[in-house]
Every structure is written in C-alpha cells, then in structure tokens.
C-alpha cells in the first residue's frame, strides 16, 4: 500500500490496526457528536482473551495502532483542528500516546530499584515536608481509582489485579508497540495485523476461571516481565540486607523501598509461576534462567 490509511468515503477506514477508533474519529470530524450511553451488560457480551500472553498481544496491537494514527495525517491536533473541540483533540492524544508511556513506566520499575543497591536517593526523605506531595498524589489517585472501580461493580481484589495488568501492559505491550512504530518509521519493518486467538481449551479455561495466569508459552514479553520481577526482588532483598548489616535507618530511601516492595507484590504471580507452580501453565524454565541472568547483570552493573 502506498498510503498507510485508505481514503474511503464510506465504511471503515482500513489499513490501521485500530480501524474502529480511526473511523470513529473521522466520523466525529465530519460533524457527528458522541453521547454517553451505558446499556445493560447482557446485551453486549463478547469474547475476550483468556491468557496473559494473548491479552498482552492484543494491547500491543492497539497501542501500536494508536501511535500509528498520531504519527499519521490523522493526528487529532492536525486533522481535527477546527473540526472538533480542543479538549476532544487532547483526549484522543491521551489514548494515542499510550505506547510512549512505556518509557516512563520502564524507568519507574527499574531505575529506583537499581539505585537502591547504590544507596542513591531519588525522592525526598519520608520525614521531610517535601515528601507530602508525593504521598498525597499516590494515596489520592489510588483511593479514587479503587473507589471508582468498586462503584462500577468491581471488587478491591479486582482493582489490584487491574493495577497489576496495567504494569504488565505498560512494560511489554506498550513497549513493543512503541518499538514497532519506530522501526516502521525507519523503514526496517512494516505494520502487521496480529490476530488474537480467543478460543481456549478446557484446561486453559479452567485456570482462567480460577484466576491463574498462563505462562506456558515462551515469549519476549515474559522475558521482560520476569527480568523486571527478578530485578525488583533482588533490589528489595539487597537493600534490606544492607540496612540490617550497617544499622542504617530507611528514612532517606523509604519511598524507593515502598515502591520496590509494591512492585514485588505486583509480580507475585510471576514468582509463583517461576518457583512454585507445577502445572503446564508454569513459567518456562528457559525464560526463568534467562531473565535471572539479565537481572543479575543489571544489578551487578548498578553495584559497580
């Protein structure tokens, strides 16, 4: 195709992994307006991925398509100028730039933990008044998010699992979506539409109903997740041993220690898949060993 997006006057605008969003955006630019409509769930049931890898692949396709739209002639700030309100243009940009958020997410799940091993503080002391804005922001956003989740019919456990998936998606799906767009712009690769399988066998469906994650298939996404899990666990154990051996107070590094401990809690299913589970859906041994080597190298370089 000579152009990334087809200039169809009718129907869906194909040539993009998220043709539904692109078509809706084009319709709004032609004068149509959206309304809030919240129907009963039973009338709109669909089929969703039942494994972690399939879900990550699906989100990778979405974020890749979102960024692809932003970098094309259909960028809301350009194509939507004068056609839709500025606040709606900015709202579209929030979604279209989700892939780029992987950079900030990868920073927060790696750099603060690695700095713990060197005793480098990136945040104010916990006893300092400058720590209050950080504490307030974290507590306020978390409380609001959890309250909204429960108000919409969810549970606190469901909210925590949602936060876990948010971390997994930003460090894998968003990263690969961002990387694929860069490679496409450089002419190294072309955009490929990856179909997400949504049919599961009996054993997979049973584990899904038991809320057990599926790790059986080796994937670069699992390598990244397990490497980050190893890295945060090693950093957390290392800083605790260092504080205990030297008799230091954790005041200076308290916020980083809390962040690292939360990441360890988020990665609980990964630790179970690597060390404790014996079923077919456990983490592949090769992925576990390979990610352990990567994490040890990163920690060793941080301690030099």
Q: What is the pLDDT of residues 108-150, one digit of tens each?
A: 999 999 999 888 889 888 888 888 998 999 999 999 999 999 9
Exposed e or buried b per residue across 203-231, where buried means at least 16 C-beta atoms within 10 angstroms of its C-beta: ebeebbeeebbbbbeebebbbbbbbbbbb
DSSP letters, 15-75, are SSTTHHHHHHHHHHHTT---------GGGG------SHHHHHHHHHHHHHHHHHHHTSTT-
**pLDDT in the model for residue 5:** 44
pLDDT digits (tens, 9 = 90+) for 139-194: 999 999 999 999 988 899 999 999 999 999 999 999 999 999 898 888 877 766 66
**pLDDT in the model for residue 6:** 45
Identify which has the larger pLDDT, 48 or 62.
62
**pLDDT in the model for residue 45:** 62
d(CA 194, CA 49): 14
pLDDT digits (tens, 9 = 90+) for 79-97: 988 889 999 999 999 989 9
- Cα torsion 235, 163, 269, 301 to 10°: value is -20
**pLDDT in the model for residue 42:** 64
Where does the pLDDT of residue 43 fall: very low under 50, low under 70, confident under 90, or very high at 90 and above? Answer: low
């Amino acid at each position: 195709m000579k152009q990334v997006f087809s200039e169809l006057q009718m129907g869906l605008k194909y040539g993009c992994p998220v043709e539904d969003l692109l078509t809706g955006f084009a319709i709004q630019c032609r004068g149509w307006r959206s309304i809030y409509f919240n129907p009963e769930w039973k009338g709109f049931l669909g089929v969703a991925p039942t494994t972690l890898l399939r879900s990550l692949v699906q989100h990778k396709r979405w974020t890749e398509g979102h960024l692809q739209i932003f970098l094309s002639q259909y960028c809301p700030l350009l194509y939507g100028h004068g056609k839709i309100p500025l606040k709606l243009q900015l709202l579209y940009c929030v979604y279209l730039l989700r892939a780029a958020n992987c950079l900030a997410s990868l920073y927060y799940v790696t750099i603060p933990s690695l700095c713990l091993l060197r005793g480098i503080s990136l945040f104010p002391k916990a006893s300092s008044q400058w720590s209050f804005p950080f504490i307030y922001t974290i507590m306020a956003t978390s409380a609001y998010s959890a309250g909204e989740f429960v108000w919409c019919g969810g549970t606190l456990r469901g909210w925590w699992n949602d936060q876990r998936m948010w971390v997994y998606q930003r460090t894998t799906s968003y990263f690969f979506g961002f990387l694929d767009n860069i490679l496409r712009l450089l002419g190294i690769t072309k955009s490929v539409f990856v179909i997400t399988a949504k049919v599961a066998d009996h054993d997979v469906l049973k584990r899904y109903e038991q809320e057990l994650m599926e790790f059986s298939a080796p994937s670069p996404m699992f390598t990244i997740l397990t490497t980050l899990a190893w890295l945060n666990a090693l950093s957390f154990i290392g800083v605790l041993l260092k504080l205990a051996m030297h008799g230091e107070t954790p005041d200076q590094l308290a916020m980083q220690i809390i962040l690292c401990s939360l990441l360890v809690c988020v990665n609980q299913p990964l630790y179970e898949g690597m060390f404790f589970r014996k079923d077919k859906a456990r983490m592949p041994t090769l992925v576990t060993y390979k990610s352990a080597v990567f994490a040890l190298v990163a920690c060793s370089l941080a301690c030099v």
